[in-house]
């Protein structure tokens, strides 16, 4: 039986955080998880999938500011989504995302995430919309285009009206800005 639990980063013990990072780093992203990537997943609400006391899935939503239509929107930004390879295709990812989407609808103007190629259909099937307009980042040097991210950003409409063909600008952070 799988159990999906949600908790804020501050409520997770060090062993659980260590297990979540190890799951993402070695079993989901196969060594391609930087310190910045892990840091981006912290400070918000985590959805954790447990099976027989073992962590098999992780996803989190953290607050960011996205600029759109002349407004600074409070975005629930999804990070660190993954399920252990031998447990994929059984609804664990969908169950974790359902919890995070509930958080987004209740606390944010919109949800947003940067998708991998493999996950694009998964997010689209859940009602996430591919951003079709240009993307940029608000950097220390000013607004800079992030053309390499165009087509990979997805949004989950919540409280704010969105024009997915307009520009979307993310706030600055170390590592991958999206």
Do 111 and 74 form a contact (C-beta atoms < 8 A)?
no
Q: Does 137 reside within a domain?
A: yes
Tell me whether residue 46 is exposed, middle or buried, using C-beta atoms within 10 angstroms of its C-beta: 0 to 12, 13 to 18, 19 or more. Answer: buried
Separation between Cα atoms, residue 56 and residue 61, nearest integer Å: 18
pLDDT given at position 1: 78
Domain total in the chain: 1
**pLDDT at residue 113 above 90?**
yes
Query: pLDDT per residue over 53-108, tens digit each?
Result: 999 999 999 999 999 999 999 999 999 999 999 999 999 999 999 999 999 999 99
Residue with tokens 């985590």: 46
**pLDDT at residue 31 above 90?**
no
Do 112 and 100 form a contact (C-beta atoms < 8 A)?
no
146, 148, 151, 157 alpha-carbon torsion, rounded to 10°: -30
**pLDDT at residue 139 above 90?**
yes
Q: Does 178 reside within a domain?
A: no
**pLDDT at residue 178 above 90?**
yes
Q: Does 58 reside within a domain?
A: yes
132 is in which domain, residue-wise? Answer: 2-170
Q: Does 82 reside within a domain?
A: yes
Q: Does 159 reside within a domain?
A: yes
Q: Does 175 reside within a domain?
A: no
**Mean pLDDT (whole number) for 129-136:** 98
Q: Does 31 reside within a domain?
A: yes
**Mean pLDDT (whole number) for 100-122:** 97
Task: Please tell me whether the overall predicted TM-score, pTM, comes out greater than 0.85 for this model.
Answer: yes
CATH no. for residue 7? Answer: 3.40.630.30
Q: Does 119 reside within a domain?
A: yes
**Contact residues for 98 (Cβ-Cβ < 8 A; gap 6+):** none
């Amino acid at each position: 039986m799988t159990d999906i639990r949600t908790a804020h980063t501050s409520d997770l013990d060090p062993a659980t955080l260590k297990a979540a990072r190890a799951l993402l780093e070695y079993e989901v992203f196969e060594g391609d998880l930087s310190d910045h990537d892990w840091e981006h997943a912290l400070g918000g609400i985590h959805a954790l999938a447990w099976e027989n006391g073992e962590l098999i899935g992780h996803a989190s939503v953290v607050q960011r500011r996205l600029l759109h239509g002349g407004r600074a929107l409070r975005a629930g930004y999804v990070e660190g989504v993954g399920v252990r390879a031998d447990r994929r295709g059984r609804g664990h990812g969908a169950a974790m995302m359902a919890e995070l989407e509930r958080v987004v609808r209740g606390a944010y103007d919109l949800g947003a995430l940067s998708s991998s190629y493999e996950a694009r259909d998964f997010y689209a099937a859940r009602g996430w919309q591919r951003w079709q307009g240009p993307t940029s980042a608000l950097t220390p040097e000013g607004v800079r285009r992030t053309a390499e991210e165009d087509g990979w950003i997805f949004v989950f409409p919540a409280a704010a009206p969105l024009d997915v063909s307009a520009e979307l600008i993310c706030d600055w952070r170390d590592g991958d800005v999206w």
